[in-house]
Structure 1
Amino acid sequence: MYVAMRLFVLSDIHTDFEENESWLGQLSKTDFLNDALILAGDISDSISRIERCFEQVCKRFEVVFFVPGNHDLWVNRCGSETSLKKFGLLKSMCRQYGIQISRSHIGNTEIIPLLGWYDYSFGSLSPELERAWMDFRNCRWPSELRTTSDVCEYFLSQNSLEKSSAGNVVTFSHFVPRIDLMPHYIPSRHRVVYPVLGSLRIDEQLRELGSSLHVYGHSHVNRDLRLDGVRYVNNAQGYPSETWIDKRLQCVVENL
């Protein structure tokens, strides 16, 4: 009997926290064996914890898709020379576990990862944010990527933008594709981080691809809404201290 493949989404699981790694380990080992998972970045800066996560999700889902988040590319504790070399290592690990890091068809749907970073298209970097934002200390880039905008442009240039022939297109990124996805109730004191949330170029790319559903992470503000004809979903696990987040898997497509 045919069983429809569902698509689940999850991001920002931060398994550096034992509570989060335990939550992942407690997911059913039988309920999702015919399903797909988009894992939209920020597992851990630890290679061993990322590998344990890959082992866990590959046991539970038939297909897993992944893009790295900023935490995944931190190098201060992992020994990688640069964040780009760590990115290469993560891609090798994905190939080892059969995790999809390039565009792939499931039935009449094409699922397309979009790499990215932030480029200050959501606002200017303040001295306060420059002092506090951990990426500036924990990522290390090669000399040719001199600015944060260079980093963003490098990752965006890696994305395949060939128009899809599939009936449905689902895209996903770690970084936020447009700032109006952030709800109006966010206090002004927390909006200081908006410049490092993402890039408008990600939204331009997903629309060029004809995406009808885009999954993202990074903000730790879960959303499911439609803007200008595209459905945007963020389903972050977040930190244990973020008790207001409903920590769950979210099914976004019932039948791929």
Structure 2
Amino acid sequence: MLHAPAMATRVFAVSDIHVDFDVNFQWVRQLSRADYRDDVLILAGDVTHKPAELASCLHELASRFANVLFVPGNHDVWVLGEAPQRTSLHKFEEVVALVERNGASMQPYRRGEVLIAPMLSWYDYSFGEPSAELYHLWMDFHACRWPADFTPKDVANYFMDRNPQISSQGAGKIITFSHFLPRIDLIPAQVPSRHRLLDPVLGSSRLDRQIRQLGSSIHVYGHSHINRRIAIDGVTYINNALGYPGEERITKRQLLCIDEL
């Protein structure tokens, strides 16, 4: 008797789904409940700062995919409207617990010789120093709250110091993902200079060093809302942001298959 070959497990990626917008949450709910049952979804941050909506979104995705792998973005640790003593570190720990309760994971995933590893990160101004205008405009400076003695570098270290704990032993292929950008040249040269105001809060060059030390060949990132796929020095960098409503020119409102296992 001939047997049909086993179906490959596909790896899909998306970021910046911002389900605070009803049209974005509808996009999640309209995803097929049959097409992705054997597949892995990389969700590279910025879902929502509202815990109930984050839980609901993750639950929706976990009911459609075999595995949902998540790393928080900056929006996910905002503390807007929360008690004054609550910091974004408290919010991060809440997000970690909420993710596990709703069928997703922030842990490395292994299948055979393939490792898919979430990389925690934040921006550390290695892409440039913020201007007074950026301090005024950038929402994180108003919506995040850190311990009083924390500097921006302390915030970045708090997250990125956890990444070296990931073991790649026995892995023949490594896919990593983060919310923030690991290098500033992932921003296309044609982006208007007026938007380069945001460079300092886009990511960290330390993150790229960690990715390469781990041996990643594919890295998924989010945050910029500029969808792109580019190979640089042996690593393929991929951004597939859903983005805000109205950003269709720079994003695509669809899942992207990045690999098969």
Mark the runs of 5 or more structure 2 residues left unpaired by the alignment.
Answer: none
Which secondary structure state, in structure 2, belongs to the residue aligned with residue 117 of structure 1?
A: coil
Quote the offset at 1:76 in angstroms: 1.1
Corresponding residue number in structure 2 for 1:183: 188
Corresponding residue number in structure 1 for 2:90: 85
Where does 1:167-246 land on structure 2 (aligned, <5 Å)? Answer: 167-244=172-249, 245-246=251-252
Q: How many residues align?
A: 254
Which secondary structure state, in structure 2, belongs to the residue aligned with residue 60 of structure 1?
A: coil
Residues 11 and 41 in structure 2, CA contact (< 8 A), matched pair in contact too: yes
- 80-89 or 105-114, larger mean C-alpha shift: 80-89
Quote the offset at 1:104 in angstroms: 1.9
- 23-32 or 72-81, larger mean C-alpha shift: 72-81
Corresponding residue number in structure 2 for 1:130: 135
The CA deviation string for residues 108-166 of structure 1, in whole angstroms up to 9 with x for no partner, is 2101111010011111110000100110110111234x211110011000112434321
- 78-87 or 200-209, larger mean C-alpha shift: 78-87
Quote the offset at 1:243 in angstroms: 2.5
Output the CA distance in 2 between the equivalents of 1:77 and 1:40.
24
- 12-21 or 103-112, larger mean C-alpha shift: 103-112
Where does 1:11-50 land on structure 2 (aligned, <5 Å)? Answer: 11-50=15-54
Paired AA for residue 181 in structure 2: V
Quote the offset at 1:17 in angstroms: 0.6
The CA deviation string for residues 39-74 of structure 1, in whole angstroms up to 9 with x for no partner, is 000001111110111111001100010000000000
Residues 110 and 164 in structure 1, CA contact (< 8 A), matched pair in contact too: no
Output the CA distance in 2 between the equivalents of 1:106 and 1:163.
12
Output the CA distance in 1 between the equivalents of 2:176 and 2:75.
21
RMSD between aligned alpha carbons?
Answer: 1.2
The CA deviation string for residues 200-242 of structure 1, in whole angstroms up to 9 with x for no partner, is 0110000000000000000001111100000000000110021
Paired AA for residue 91 in structure 2: K
Paired AA for residue 24 in structure 2: N
Corresponding residue number in structure 2 for 1:6: 10
* Runs of 4+ residues deviating >4 angstroms: none
Paired AA for residue 79 in structure 2: V
Residues 29 and 60 in structure 1, CA contact (< 8 A), matched pair in contact too: yes
Residues 46 and 78 in structure 1, CA contact (< 8 A), matched pair in contact too: no
Question: Is 1:56 matched up with 2:56?
Answer: no
The two structures have a TM-score, normalised by structure 1, of 0.96
The CA deviation string for residues 19-39 of structure 1, in whole angstroms up to 9 with x for no partner, is 101111111110001000000
Paired AA for residue 196 in structure 1: V
The two structures have a TM-score, normalised by structure 2, of 0.94
Mark the runs of 5 or more structure 1 residues left unpaired by the alignment.
Answer: none
| Fraction of identical pairs, as percent | 48
Output the CA distance in 2 between the equivalents of 1:234 and 1:28.
22
